[in-house]
């Protein structure tokens, strides 16, 4: 067996000894544990603490009382995947059971710049994505090249090494840590002899599993169609309906000559038709969303959007604050559909909290486009609560990734409150480092409740406050106006006199006109 550390032309690769795994259930440990498998010597991950998923012992959110009824979790786990079904290209059997398949995968990646630690963090995140999609990660190979090979993504020598790893471990899928060109995918499949997919395909698969609402399913299907369109391919003559000049010689006879249309062209036309239909459906759903937003704006209800990296704890934070009962699970992209719940500040002002879809590095562009309607909740928010996993080894990358997407939807100018979640897993030294990254950030733990009150206080300070002062005399039969002042304004003083309720309050520009008949003239003249 060749030494994988030996350079082969431009195929130089980082390789260090692998430490034994401590936790067999840890996705990273499974990758590292492959050193003592049949393919020992091929494992190219160094030992490290970078993890995208957490173990129960390290603080996994386990559905506490504040998370509410987690019945959706039982529904999601009702159909479990099983092992023993092969997806090798040479012998694809049991096709009807492929939805249940537990795939054994090997990860491959090429990094052209940055440090090896950054590349390994990205690969470990890919391993977590594969786990969430329903696969078992057996091994991984990481290669340093000036540029990815235009033919097979990996260099020729490393592509052959991947084929040897696949054969030794019995893997049936190879996942590349990038978005492969269709030609690269086909060429690499020809070498490794098993199915090859890329990072984008894994993310789309997770989204298709977790989408629940009608709009969410339409958004995911649209993204899948956009991804699939340039990657259609035929299988020899079985995919051809074209009849050329040679067709008569093959026995097709008269009437079969002339131009035709391939099946692949029919498939492309069907995809375009389906994408057009999905876009029309999403346009039809837009008025309902806008009506809800207009109702909140008309009533001057401020909105707070919770954004952040996937698995940072956004849903857990929403549950802790509002007891919303949103699904909480130790997996990537556990929740996709936006959830809106109401809350109030300490002084009685009403506002809404919106849980949005999580982000990840190299988020496929077609997903950003498909979920733009969901991300509109972020663009229309008055305050953004940016949740960061404080226990993650690379919080800087999380901050940068989320802020890039926020900028794409035009929400960079909205006031932002950075919240480092999972503070129960953060050491004092790590807190000092994180404080250096974001001096005004707040440390919270959605699991223990630490820092929740601090976050609510900070949100209340960032919310827009009524600025117009009015001196009002409201008749006793107009209690509805008093309720409006409590919900949407700020009452400074109240006095009950014979003619009605004398109120000094601050209101917003939107609700000021309805109080005009009750303004005391002395206040206007002053």
How many other CB atoms are there within 10 angstroms of residue 386's CB atom? 23
Is the pLDDT confidence value at 102 over 50?
A: yes
Report d(CA 403, CA 307) in Å as an integer. 10
pLDDT of residue 141 exceeding 80:
yes
Rounded distance between C-alpha atoms, residue 471 and residue 488, angstroms: 16
Residue 381: predicted pLDDT: 87
Residue 239 CA to residue 254 CA, distance in Å, equals 21
pLDDT at residue 421 in the model? 92
Q: By percentage, how much of the chain surpasses pLDDT 70?
A: 70
Q: What was the pLDDT predicted at 419?
A: 93
Are the C-beta atoms of residues 384 and 462 closer than 8 Å to each other?
A: no
Tell me the pLDDT band of 94, cut-offs 50, 70 and 90. Answer: very low
Helix (H) or strand (E) holding 109: strand 103-111
pLDDT above 80 for 343: yes
- Using CB atoms within 10 Å of the CB of residue 473, give its burial: 0 to 12 exposed, 13 to 18 middle, 19+ buried: middle
pLDDT at 361: 80
Q: pLDDT (tens digit, 9 = 90+) per residue, 18-77?
A: 444 444 455 555 554 443 443 343 444 544 444 555 544 444 445 455 666 665 665 555
In contact, 344 and 351? CB cutoff 8 Å: yes
Q: Using the predicted structure, report yes or no on whether residue 15 has a pLDDT greater than 50.
A: no
β-pairing, 173-176 with 103-111? parallel
Q: How many CA atoms lie less than 13 Å away from 35 in the CB half-sphere?
A: 15
The torsion angles phi and psi of 110, rounded to 5 degrees, stand at -125, 130
CB-based contact 458:417 (threshold 8 Å): yes
Q: Which residue has the higher pLDDT, 246 or 320?
A: 320
Q: Please give the angle made by the CA atoms of 346, 352 and 355, to the nearest 5 degrees.
A: 120
Task: Please state, in angstroms and rounded to a whole number, the distance separating the CA atoms of residues 267 and 270.
Answer: 5
Nearest to 488 by CA among 301, 305, 251, 361: 301
Which residue in 471, 457, 392, 462 sits closest to 425, CA to CA?
392
Residue 513: other Cβ atoms inside 10 A: 9
Q: Which of 506, 385, 409 is nearest to 457 (CA)?
A: 385
How much is the average pLDDT of 371-384?
Answer: 79
Q: DSSP letter for 47, please.
A: P
Decide if pLDDT at 89 tops 60: no
Sheet holding 350-355, edge to edge: 339-344, 350-355, 303-308, 383-389, 416-421, 442-443
Task: Tell me the β-bridge partners of 139.
Answer: 106
> Cβ(189)–Cβ(88) under 8 Å?
no
Whether the pLDDT of residue 522 is over 50: the answer is: no
What is the tens place of the pLDDT at every residue in 380-394?
888 999 999 888 888
pTM here is 0.69
pLDDT value for 68: 62
The residue count of the chain comes to 526
- Nearest CA among 182, 174, 136 for reference residue 158: 174
Q: Sign of torsion, CA 353 359 365 371?
A: negative
- Long-range pairs for 497-500: beta carbons < 8 A, 24 or more residues apart: 497/473, 499/473, 499/475, 500/473, 500/474, 500/475, 500/476
pLDDT at 49: 41
pLDDT at 301: 78
């Amino acid at each position: 067996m060749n030494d994988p550390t030996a350079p082969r032309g431009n195929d130089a690769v980082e390789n260090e000894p692998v430490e034994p795994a401590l936790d067999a259930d840890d996705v990273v440990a499974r990758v590292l544990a492959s050193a003592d498998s049949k393919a020992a010597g091929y494992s190219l991950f160094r030992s490290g603490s970078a993890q995208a998923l957490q173990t129960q012992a390290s603080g996994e959110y386990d559905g506490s009382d504040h998370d509410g009824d987690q019945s959706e979790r039982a529904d999601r786990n009702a159909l479990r995947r099983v092992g023993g079904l092969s997806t090798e290209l040479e012998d694809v059997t049991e096709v009807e059971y492929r939805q249940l398949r537990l795939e054994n995968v090997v990860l491959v990646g090429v990094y052209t710049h940055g440090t090896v630690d950054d590349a390994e963090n990205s690969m470990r995140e890919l391993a977590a994505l594969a786990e969430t999609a329903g696969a078992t990660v057996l091994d991984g190979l990481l290669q340093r090249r000036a540029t990815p090979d235009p033919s097979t993504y990996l260099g020729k020598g490393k592509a052959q090494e991947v084929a040897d790893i696949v054969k030794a471990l019995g893997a049936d899928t190879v996942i590349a840590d990038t978005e492969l060109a269709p030609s690269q995918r086909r060429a690499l499949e020809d070498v490794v002899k098993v199915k090859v997919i890329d990072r984008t395909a894994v993310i789309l698969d997770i989204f298709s599993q977790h989408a629940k609402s009608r709009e969410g399913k339409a958004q995911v299907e649209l993204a899948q169609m956009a991804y699939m369109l340039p990657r259609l391919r035929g299988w020899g003559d079985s995919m051809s309906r074209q009849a050329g000049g040679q067709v008569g010689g093959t026995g097709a006879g008269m009437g079969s000559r002339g131009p035709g249309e391939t099946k692949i062209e029919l498939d492309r036309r069907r995809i375009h038709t389906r994408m057009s239909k999905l876009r029309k459906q999403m346009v039809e759903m837009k008025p309902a969303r806008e009506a809800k937003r207009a109702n909140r704006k008309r009533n001057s209800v401020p909105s707070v959007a919770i954004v952040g990296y996937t698995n940072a704890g956004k849903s857990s934070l929403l549950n802790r604050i509002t007891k919303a009962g949103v699904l909480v699970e130790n997996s990537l992209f556990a929740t996709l559909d936006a959830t809106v719940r109401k809350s109030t500040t300490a002084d009685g002002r009403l506002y809404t909290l919106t849980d949005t879809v999580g982000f990840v590095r190299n988020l496929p562009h077609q997903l950003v486009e498909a979920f733009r309607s969901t991300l509109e909740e972020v663009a229309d928010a008055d305050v953004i609560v940016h949740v960061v996993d404080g226990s993650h080894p690379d919080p800087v990358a999380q901050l940068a990734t989320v802020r890039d997407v926020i900028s794409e939807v035009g929400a960079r100018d909205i006031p932002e409150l950075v919240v480092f979640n999972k503070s129960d897993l953060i050491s004092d030294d790590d807190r000092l480092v994180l404080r250096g990254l974001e001096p005004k950030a707040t440390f919270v733990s959605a699991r223990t409740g630490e820092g929740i009150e601090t976050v609510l206080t900070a949100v209340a300070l960032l919310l827009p406050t009524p600025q117009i002062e009015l001196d009002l005399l409201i008749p006793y039969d107009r209690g509805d106006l008093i309720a409006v002042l409590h919900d949407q304004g700020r009452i400074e003083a109240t006095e009950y006199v014979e003619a009605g309720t004398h109120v000094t309050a601050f209101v917003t520009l939107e609700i000021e006109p309805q109080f005009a008949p009750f303004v005391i003239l002395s206040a206007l003249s002053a």
